[in-house]
Amino acid sequence: MTYTLTTFAIWLVLAALVGAVVGWLVRGVRRTVAPVDPEADAAFGHEVQSMAGDLHRLSADRDRLAGELAAANAELSSSVSREQLESVVAERNRLAAELAAHEPAVAELRVRLWNAEARAIELKGIVDAHTTGQAPPDPDLAAGAATLGVPVTINDLTLIEGVGPKIAELCLQRGITTWWSLANCDLDVLRTMLAEAGPKFQVQDPTTWPHQARLLANGQWQKFKTLADALRAERFGE
């Protein structure tokens, strides 16, 4: 009996000690945990909900756009076959290659055009520089026709021996439009004009053209006829 009571007392003491230790530990844990702020907790919850709503909307937009893209691809695939698409691409590549092949020729022509325009401006300047003095009054064309035996039109360059319609057209293109402008034209300009016109024009000799034109501009019909007849006889070996 005494042993039993002693054992029971010992167990009571041990239980009290264990309870004291557990109580001390619980109080320590409660002191280390910060108190919860209900307002902060609620705000955090609202923020999480808002972020969840944004994520849901973004996901819905993504799904919608993916659906639209799939529909567009399906429509494109149904309206244009792969063979048609390949044909269009091949045609585009062919045209691009053809354009690239012609580009050097186009560039060369462009340069030649620029040079020709620059040369025309230069030649016009030379012509203008040699067109000195005031042009004389228009001569008596009726007297000229009577002397020459052919109708005479003012500033008809083809009256000049050696100047045919083609050469007269070349002169007009160079700004040599009258007897007086031809009379004051430099021979180098005329030779350059003929050289640039081609082989069949290069054989022409413009040496006497300015002198003939001056006679016509001044109405010296007989002197012009004498010179033209002599040149014509020399030309045809008469």
The ranges assigned to domains in the chain are 131-236
Please provide the average confidence, as pLDDT, over all residues in the chain. 77
Which is more confidently placed, 45 or 184?
184
Using one digit for the tens of pLDDT, what is the confidence trace for 221-236?
Answer: 999 999 999 998 887 7
Which is more confidently placed, 129 or 99?
99
**Per-residue confidence (pLDDT) for residue 120, from 0 to 100:** 63
Which is more confidently placed, 176 or 71?
176
**Around 9, how many Cα atoms within 13 Å sit in the side-chain half-sphere?**
6
Mean pLDDT value across residues 180-190: 95
DSSP state of 215: H
Using one digit for the tens of pLDDT, what is the confidence trace for 46-80?
Answer: 676 777 677 777 777 777 777 776 776 666 666 66
Sort 167 into a burial class: Cβ within 10 Å, 0-12 / 13-18 / 19+: buried
